[in-house]
A and B are shown apart, each in its own frame.
Chain A
Amino acid sequence: MHRVAEKIIFFTAVIKNLMELWNEIIHTAMLGTDKKAISVDTLADDLSEAATLINSNTNTDKEEKFLQLASVIFNYRQSGALPLYKEEINLQPASTEEKEYCSIEAMQALQDILSEESIPLLKFWLRHCNGRQRIVNPAIIPNLFSIAMQNKSLQLPVANCCGKRGEWLARFNDAWNFSVSELPEQIWQTGTTEQRKSILKDTRKINPQLAREWLIQTWPQEDAAARISLLELLNENIGEEDIPFLEQVLSDKSKKVKEEALNLLKQIPSSPIVQLYQRVIQQAISMKKEKTLLGLSSKTVLNFTLAGTINEEVFKSGIQKLSSQKDTSDERFIIYQLLSQVPPSFLETHLGATPLEIIRWFSNSEDGEKLLPAIGLAAGRFKDKTWANHIINDDHRIYLDLIPLLPYNTREKYLLAHFDNAAETIVNVISREENEWSAELTKQVFKYTAKNPYQYNRSFYNMHIHLFPVQIVGELERCTPPEDNLRGMWNNTSDYIIKLISLKIQTIKAFIN
């Protein structure tokens, strides 16, 4: 064998029909030597000596001869392997970066966050990185892209933090094509659904008219699912100018699309549907002066009675005719629904009074008192900050929809005042927010969640770490529940929160300079 091997070294320069030769071996092997014999004629000249030697051996059977010949050809093939030469196969290198790279400390924080698998912390890190106009070390880009593939909300921030290298790299993998280099309109025209939604949402915030025009342009090409998800985004900065388009959408084939258009129209005070509701309310709510008991003074009393006939369009638009609650009459139920869908400012015009007076009049009667929450809902629907403030000051009930409309201090006071009575609901609502909570509110939340460790497990703290202020670390001990069985669990949870917050601090510090 060694002798044969020595000969083969000289054969390497001549690679004549190498693959044909090997294919012949494979074909023979596939069928078996019982069915097919290897053709010696096909062998290259280089191998003929070895082949003759093997074939002339009278002590070996055909299987052994095949194995020997195949071994020689196998080594002939592997010894003759040469690199492939192709001209003009090239790869355009990545462009030079325009932004600065992150510091070692920032990259360390990123590595630690990735190993903790915390998406909210990753978002937090990316926000800081983008805020400082920095880019990541290139070696980590594939890892970030893979994470962003699974978490669509990370795609734009990740693409931003990966700079030119990321943009270049994404060209080789379609799944990573969430680059930011393209113009917004290009992304809108050619991007993925998520990219288009994201760009439409951003555009709607700064230029509502342009966003609407984009949607009108592509509307005929969108399928029903895309129509609903894109239409929903018009909710931001919705206004009178959107009415013609939304009315046109009311004749869409899809029931869900129509419903969404109607829902949006119900948020525009000047839309025909809101105007219709206003007319019904105008007739239903009247005001009269009544003498007090002794007849010395008078008080304003509101009367709530629907007109004899109501335009059927009202009920076609989603207003229910029948009340499902025993203590609520059908009439009051209809007025409640309508009242929650007309701008509260309309009542000021209709009744010729201030919000404060109107709230007082509503509170003074049994019917009015029960209808007051509908005005709270309307204030939330029409984002009326003035009414939101009056409602939360003058009514003891909790109005969660109004929370985002309140100024920071009022909101804080309001939440803390109602926390004990509606802890779970408040936690649910404020967990959807994006801005960090105050230390005091966080403390209240933790006191509550510490008592309910099965409902609020590690995943809750991981998912909402962006909302917890770093100062809370010093307060964690004070949130410990008195029950023995819960204390141990809270200690473990506290360690976990401290770990997450330390990553947050690490990130903040890394981007200070």
Chain B
Amino acid sequence: MTLSEEQILALAPDEASRKSGKDLANPSKWVMKAVNDAALWGECQGSGSKPYQTQIDIANIAFKCSCPSRKFPCKHGLGLLLLYARQKNSFSSAGAPAWVTEWLAKRTEKQEKQEEKKDKPVDEAAQAKRQQARQLKVNDGIDELKVWLKDIVRNGILNMPEKGDTYFLNVAKRMVDAQAPGLAGMIRSLAEINFYTEGWQTKFMDQLLRIYMIAEGYGNINSLNDSLQQDIRTWIGFTQNQEELKEKDGIVDTWLVLGKQTIEEDAVTTERNWLYGIDTNSYALVLQFIIRGQGAQLTLTPGLFMQAELVFFPSLSPLRAIIRQQINTNAISTFKGWFANWNEVAQSETMLNAVLPFRSERPFVLQQLKPVNYNGQWWLQDAQQKMMQLKNDYKTIWKILAISGGEPVDMAVIGREDSYEPVGIWHNDEYKIL
């Protein structure tokens, strides 16, 4: 396991845990600490009479601790992992105690049980009935949505800034009732547009048209091919049975976590983990939904390399995937098949738009980009002197400039069309998170 300190800290659920974790990355806080091939464990003297037993599955990065904290990972887990990153040699290599071996065995057992679950018979008739009822609800919802869309274009979008959130949120709620949560989310994002910035009209229309295309596509779904049908259903919010998905063939590769975007809404945290498959030169988006108070199933952190089998959701432009199996591996510094320049990215974008015009942003890894300033804004220039604009330029530009010193660097970006947000760069053969 070769997680850097920065990567470990990126696992922390909040700033307080990050700080406390750092405080616990101190040998004096640990009564004992040890490591073997499968796990890392230690006993930390807390405020109770008995020390807390902290353990980490290093093959799949999972934490367990006997402390009462509801945070995940807790400060003890972070502290132990940080300490290991800093002082590997201070960990003894004694045999694992029962509390560690039992936990690891339980984890394996749980995985096996999940496999068994697949064999349970499904009541197909009831399932079909449920699906039919849902389709009716979605149809009704989409009919209403189209009326709303037409009202907007008939009356004009000029007065949209004065409408207020409720104008959009009411329709979003209606879509939730119609069991189309995907569309509901897209409508909510219309409310999130900053109507006080220049060019809001284009942002608004782009999103409105995406919604329209999906709604219209659903109306004609039977005339579309299977994959496009699947895409439209996914965007509307039909869920894919993940157990069924896991039955399908996956892509085995060494995956690098390029970046992680976290959005907190109500009691649910959505993690968007962007992955890059080094040998297959493929990209993936692994989503994780964490309900407050419950632990996360996956522990992915930007810069993590893992040997894993990913199964992609069926799509004309496969991106979203689930992890079937994962073992963390050492960092790899030699890559192939990256985009050589922006023209290649643009070509790839065109191909993707051709099959899926309403698709979302994607990651791209490009060779030798350098930041340049043109017309008062920051751009990323390739070796052919062609450039694309930096999205949220103030967020990352300073770190890119500081690390690169103005020299070209290989870079991972997420975006579409004409603006891209860098998430990491390679410097001295190391992937640096931005």
Are A85 and B385 in touch, CB under 8 angstroms? Answer: yes
B416 at the interface (CB under 8 A from A): yes
Q: B389 to chain A: which residues have CB within 8 Å?
A: 84
Q: At the interface with chain A, which of B100-108, B271-279, B401-409?
A: B401-409
A475 at the interface (CB under 8 A from B): no
Q: B402 to chain A: which residues have CB within 8 Å?
A: 138-142, 165, 169
Are A84 and B406 in touch, CB under 8 angstroms? Answer: no
Q: Mark A45-88, 1 if CB is under 8 A from B, else 0.
A: 00000000000000001011011101100110111111111110
A63–B157 Cα distance when bound, in Å, is 13
- Of A30, A108, A173, which contacts B156 at CB under 8 A? A30
A94–B402 Cα distance when bound, in Å, is 9
Are A9 and B154 in touch, CB under 8 angstroms? Answer: no
Are A93 and B403 in touch, CB under 8 angstroms? Answer: no
- Of A82, A87, A499, which contacts B343 at CB under 8 A? A82
Tell me, rounded to whole Å, the shortest Cβ–Cβ distance linking A458 to chain B: 14
Are B216 and A1 in touch, CB under 8 angstroms? Answer: yes
For A90, the closest partner residue in chain B by CB is B372
Q: A331 to chain B: which residues have CB within 8 Å?
A: none
A338 at the interface (CB under 8 A from B): no
A9–B316 Cα distance when bound, in Å, is 15
- Would A63 and B153 be within 8 Å (CB), given that A81-B418, A93-B406, A168-B405 are in contact? yes
Tell me, rounded to whole Å, the shortest Cβ–Cβ distance linking B27 to chain A: 12
Q: A8 to chain B: which residues have CB within 8 Å?
A: 353-354, 357
Tell me, rounded to whole Å, the shortest Cβ–Cβ distance linking A17 to chain B: 16
- Would A89 and B406 be within 8 Å (CB), given that A35-B156, A84-B387, A169-B398 are in contact? no
A112 at the interface (CB under 8 A from B): yes
Q: B201 to chain A: which residues have CB within 8 Å?
A: 26, 29-30
A85–B212 Cα distance when bound, in Å, is 33
For A82, the closest partner residue in chain B by CB is B346
Q: A141 to chain B: which residues have CB within 8 Å?
A: 398, 402
B327 at the interface (CB under 8 A from A): no
Are B202 and A85 in touch, CB under 8 angstroms? Answer: no
B173-214 residues with Cβ-Cβ distance < 8 A to A are: 201-202, 205-206, 209, 212-213
Tell me, rounded to whole Å, the shortest Cβ–Cβ distance linking B208 to chain A: 8
Are B156 and A79 in touch, CB under 8 angstroms? Answer: no
Are B416 and A108 in touch, CB under 8 angstroms? Answer: no
For A139, the closest partner residue in chain B by CB is B403
B149 at the interface (CB under 8 A from A): yes
Q: A9 to chain B: which residues have CB within 8 Å?
A: 350-351, 354
Are A138 and B403 in touch, CB under 8 angstroms? Answer: yes
Are A91 and B417 in touch, CB under 8 angstroms? Answer: no
B221-273 residues with Cβ-Cβ distance < 8 A to A are: 224-225, 228
Q: B399 to chain A: which residues have CB within 8 Å?
A: 139, 142
Q: Mark A131-172, 1 if CB is under 8 A from B, else 0.
A: 000000011111001000000000000000000010011001
- Of B22, B355, B401, which contacts A115 at CB under 8 A? B22
Tell me, rounded to whole Å, the shortest Cβ–Cβ distance linking B30 to chain A: 15
What count of chain A residues pass the 8 Å CB interface test?
60
B355-377 residues with Cβ-Cβ distance < 8 A to A are: 355-357, 370-374
A484 at the interface (CB under 8 A from B): no
Q: Mark A194-214, 1 if CB is under 8 A from B, else 0.
A: 000000000000000000000
A141–B216 Cα distance when bound, in Å, is 51
B89 at the interface (CB under 8 A from A): no
Q: B53 to chain A: which residues have CB within 8 Å?
A: none
A22 at the interface (CB under 8 A from B): yes
Are B150 and A78 in touch, CB under 8 angstroms? Answer: no
Q: B225 to chain A: which residues have CB within 8 Å?
A: 2
B72-101 residues with Cβ-Cβ distance < 8 A to A are: 86
- Would A91 and B373 be within 8 Å (CB), given that A26-B205, A115-B22, A139-B399 are in contact? yes
A9–B398 Cα distance when bound, in Å, is 37
A374 at the interface (CB under 8 A from B): no
Q: A5 to chain B: which residues have CB within 8 Å?
A: 353-357
A1-45 residues with Cβ-Cβ distance < 8 A to B are: 1-2, 5-6, 8-9, 12, 22, 25-26, 29-35
A221 at the interface (CB under 8 A from B): no
A329 at the interface (CB under 8 A from B): no
- Of A83, A87, A94, A499, which contacts B406 at CB under 8 A? A94
- Of A67, A83, A172, which contacts B212 at CB under 8 A? A67
Are B153 and A29 in touch, CB under 8 angstroms? Answer: yes
Are A29 and B205 in touch, CB under 8 angstroms? Answer: yes
B23 at the interface (CB under 8 A from A): yes
A428 at the interface (CB under 8 A from B): no
For A111, the closest partner residue in chain B by CB is B5
Are A66 and B153 in touch, CB under 8 angstroms? Answer: yes
Q: B205 to chain A: which residues have CB within 8 Å?
A: 25-26, 29, 70, 74
> Known pairs A75-B353, A85-B387, A142-B402. 8 more at Cβ < 8 A?
A1-B357, A26-B202, A31-B156, A63-B150, A91-B373, A111-B5, A139-B399, A142-B398
Which chain A residues have a beta carbon within 8 Å of chain B's beta carbons?
A: 1-2, 5-6, 8-9, 12, 22, 25-26, 29-35, 61, 63-64, 66-68, 70-71, 74-75, 77-87, 89-94, 108, 111-112, 115, 138-142, 145, 165, 168-169, 172-173, 499
15 A-B pairs with CB atoms under 8 Å apart are A2-B225, A2-B228, A8-B357, A32-B153, A32-B154, A32-B155, A66-B153, A67-B150, A67-B216, A74-B357, A79-B354, A79-B357, A81-B417, A83-B346, A94-B406
| Top-3 shortest CB links A-B | A32-B156, A83-B342, A93-B406
Which chain B residues have a beta carbon within 8 Å of chain A's beta carbons?
A: 5, 18-19, 22-23, 86, 149-150, 153-158, 201-202, 205-206, 209, 212-213, 216-217, 220, 224-225, 228, 341-343, 345-346, 349-351, 353-357, 370-374, 379, 381-382, 384-389, 398-399, 401-403, 405-407, 416-418, 432
